[in-house]
A and B are shown apart, each in its own frame.
Chain A
Amino acid sequence: QSELTQPPSASGTPGQRVTISCSGSTSNIGSNFVYWYQQLPEMAPKLLIYRNKERPSGVPDRFSGSKSGTSASLAISGLRSDDEADYYCSTWDDSLSGPAFGGGTKLTVL
């Protein structure tokens, strides 16, 4: 059971824009930065977004993050077939005294 709630699946066609939501509470998203990870099939997770909206070097600007209150979202524009992956949101949880992860969203490119 995850402290953060994500939709289990999302889909889009090539070129489309898709958004993945992440819902939390005042003890996690509401008072801390949000991070996003991309996990390609059979691969290790990769940092995609940090501090709500910042992109690590090498991550294309098609990926963007935002946060409002106790929710956050990841947007992917110009969808490509190689964006098919599981996407996880994460944040510090004050109750857990550690990082919390969402259950993950499986993105399918139709």
Chain B
Amino acid sequence: EVQLLESGGGLAQPGGSLRLSCAASGFTFKSYAMTWVRQAPGTGLHWVSAISGSAATTSYADSVKGRFTISRDNSKNTLYLQMDSLRAEDTALYYCAKSVATTQYYYFDLWGLGTLVTVSS
């Protein structure tokens, strides 16, 4: 079955860290760029970060640049998001999503159900 399954969310203190994972199945993982998109409670979608199929290129939204690191392990069909120096405004449901291309990430044809990150003391 073609699917994405996120994990790793939870409660973190301000300044703390979390590592999100996204396990992919049912498609050739290394052939597609992947992305993280977040949705704060009651609000819309916001792009966070993206990585090419080979992991050669990465990109970040200004709001997370220098604090979050995206990576992938194509041998394990898994996408990661290392989140450091967390802030209250990082509280959101984090979705991983699959691009339709190897190096570009204009739009996404497969989404996971999300993992909830709460940053609070």
A residues neighboring B (CB under 8 Å): 2, 32-33, 35, 37, 43-47, 50, 56, 88, 90, 92, 96-104
Binding site for A on B (CB under 8 A): 35, 37, 43-47, 50, 59, 61, 95, 97, 100, 105-109, 111-114
Compute the total of residue contacts between A and B using a CB distance below 8 Å.
Answer: 57
Q: What is the CB-to-nearest-CB distance from A109 to chain B, in angstroms, rounded to a whole number?
A: 21
CA distance A99 to B113 in the complex (A): 19
Task: Please give, as numbers and ranges, the residues of chain A lying within 8 Å of B114 by CB-CB distance.
Answer: 44
Contact A46 B111 (CB under 8 A): yes
Judging by beta carbons under 8 Å apart, are B50 and A98 in contact? Answer: yes
Question: Which chain B positions have C-beta within 8 A of A102?
Answer: 44
Q: Within 8 Å CB of A35, what residues of B?
A: 106-107
Candidate in B35, B37, B95 with the most chain A CB atoms within 10 angstroms? B37
- Give complex CA distance A94, B35 in Å: 17
Q: In this complex, what residue of A is CB-closest to B111?
A: A44
- A92 and chain B: residue at smallest CB distance: B106
**How near does chain A come to B96, taking the closest CB pair, in angstroms?**
10
CB pair A88 B109 closer than 8 Å:
no
Q: Are B109 and A2 in contact (CB under 8 A)?
A: no
Q: How far is the CA of A9 from the CA of B12 in the complex (A)?
A: 33
Q: Is the CB of A44 within 8 A of B59?
A: no
Q: Say whether A101 contacts B106, CB under 8 Å.
A: no
